[in-house]
Amino acid sequence: MADFEETTQEVFINTEQNFGNSGGDQINRFRLNFNQEPFESGDEAILRINMTQFNLEKNFYDVNATNNTLRITSTAIFGAGADLQAVAGDQFISVPVGDYVNSPDILMSVLGQLITDYLNSVITVGAASYTMQAGPTTAGGATTLLDLAQQFGLDTTAAAPLEGRVAPTDVIGGAFTNIFDKVQRRKYCIYFQVAGSTPGGTASFNSFNLVIQCLNIPPGQQRITLGGVDATDNQQFNDSYSLLGGVRIEQFQAAPSALPDADRLQSFSIQQDTAGVGGSTAVLTTAYPVAQGCNTLPYVYLRCEEAENQSSRSIEDAQRSHDHEIIPSRILAKIPRVINTRQSISYTLENVGGLPFFTNITANYVNHLIFRITDHRGRSIQPVSVSDLPSSAVSRLASGVAVGNVLNPNFANQAGTQNTLGNLYCDFAFKISKHKRKVQSNILQSVQPPIITNNRLEFAGVIPNSIYQN
């Protein structure tokens, strides 16, 4: 309870309009001006902000520039005639932005296609393809479909009281075959095949010296370059390892494909399959499970420039080296991702009857507050661009149709951004209250301090030590 109840106020905020005109936008930085109603406290009190409610609709993509980028590099392959040949490569590849809606199967298949597209871009003689499996068994049986997420359905064949139960589709109708193969691990194998090479030959899949890295190097620690071009912050400091189940790479290697296999920093296992047929083959295996829900943002963080809290450096600043050192933080609240009964996703905090997030304000006068919303690395939430087109439009453009036949260029020029003129905004409420401060006694009202005279301790009102001196 506040010590000055008559000054306590609840403040309700919606950032939907006009905040983009005050030096920020609707979500990444916005300023609240109290104008005629500032908050004040004397030396005897402090101000406190308590978060009571917050809501941010997830109108941005789960897979975006902060978690969709990998580095891929390979060496040149020289040959003659129909033998496999390729030029060297070293570049970033990015999983298309969007929502993969709890579908790691789709996410990993897209990764397989991206790697295949890269291989075909560097191959000059030959061709690459992929399937979602670990390769054939010794008897020639396929292992496709075994890594896919389990499908469920309504069992209408079961007798009462089990009729209508939800069960794995493999067991409906008593078909228990391969049920143990359907245990979900959210780990994947991608099987690559390269035509034009012979397993174990002079030009095989190993000749690529393929390296795939999920880089996580803070820009403030080191600025990396590929092909003479500086990487962007999101390219070199990316959460793709968390999304795709890879190993986090925190050290930059200038030419990893030129190193011995044991010295290459890899995010995934890449192993040539010498038992493969029809050309050189290899298996990529993820190190860890793919992110559940295909997202890397279980919370968003509301920050306030007047907040005085603490956090680990790892969630405070994406520019600096991350460690577990505790440093001053402007984080005011940590808001969880919530899915309602209609599967609508938002970031919502309801502190009614709970323990609210709060911060004390040491300033005696507050006439404005500046807020921003970030992810767990201190990065801005990624808005969706007007140029992020629907899948049907992407498919049409890929067929060769000009973008001017799909998107009005005048509209694109005046549409602004989602976080200034679009539907990326939040609403929240907080309480500002005043609390008594523990005041230190004024030195003039306390006991007079001791005085050192002739290296002896004297106190006011005590007979001087000099009387006892010879």
With contact defined as beta carbons under 8 Å apart, do 454 and 465 qualify?
Answer: yes
**Per-residue pLDDT reduced to its tens digit, 47-89:** 989 999 999 999 999 999 999 999 999 999 987 667 889 999 9
Give residue for tokens 């040491």: 362
Q: 306 phi and psi, to 5 degrees? A: -95, -5
With contact defined as beta carbons under 8 Å apart, do 433 and 8 qualify?
Answer: yes
Check pLDDT > 90 for residue 250. yes
Opening angle at CA 64, ends 215 and 66, nearest 5: 35
Residue 118 pLDDT class (50, 70, 90 cuts): very high
Strand partners, 369: 32
What single DSSP character describes residue 461? T
**Do the strands 211-215 and 248-249 form a parallel or antiparallel pair, or are they unpaired?**
parallel
Of 236, 245, 378, nearest in space to 303 by CA:
378
**pTM of the entire structure?**
0.83
- In this predicted structure, what is the pLDDT of residue 297? 95
With contact defined as beta carbons under 8 Å apart, do 326 and 310 qualify?
Answer: yes
Of 438, 359, 434, nearest in space to 3 by CA:
434
Residue 22 pLDDT class (50, 70, 90 cuts): low
Check pLDDT > 50 for residue 467. no
**Per-residue pLDDT reduced to its tens digit, 167-213:** 666 555 555 455 555 666 789 999 999 987 665 557 889 999 999 99
**Per-residue pLDDT reduced to its tens digit, 201-217:** 578 899 999 999 999 99
Q: What is the DSSP string of 192-203?
A: EEEET--TTSSS
Q: 236 phi and psi, to 5 degrees? A: -90, -15
Whole-angstrom CA distances from 450 to 23, 279, 460, 462 are 56, 92, 7, 11
Mean pLDDT of 353-365: 81
With contact defined as beta carbons under 8 Å apart, do 287 and 246 qualify?
Answer: yes
Residue 466 pLDDT class (50, 70, 90 cuts): very low
With contact defined as beta carbons under 8 Å apart, do 345 and 290 qualify?
Answer: no
Q: Label residue 297 left, alpha or beta by phi (over 0 means left) and psi (-120 to 50 means alpha).
A: beta
3 state SS of 29:
coil
Tokens read off for 438 = 């523990």
What CA–CA distance (Å, rounded) separates 274 from 414?
Answer: 56
Residue 344 pLDDT class (50, 70, 90 cuts): confident
Rg (CA), the chain: 31
- In this predicted structure, what is the pLDDT of residue 237? 95
What CA–CA distance (Å, rounded) separates 189 from 191?
Answer: 6
What CA–CA distance (Å, rounded) separates 3 from 433?
Answer: 8
With contact defined as beta carbons under 8 Å apart, do 176 and 269 qualify?
Answer: no
With contact defined as beta carbons under 8 Å apart, do 436 and 45 qualify?
Answer: yes
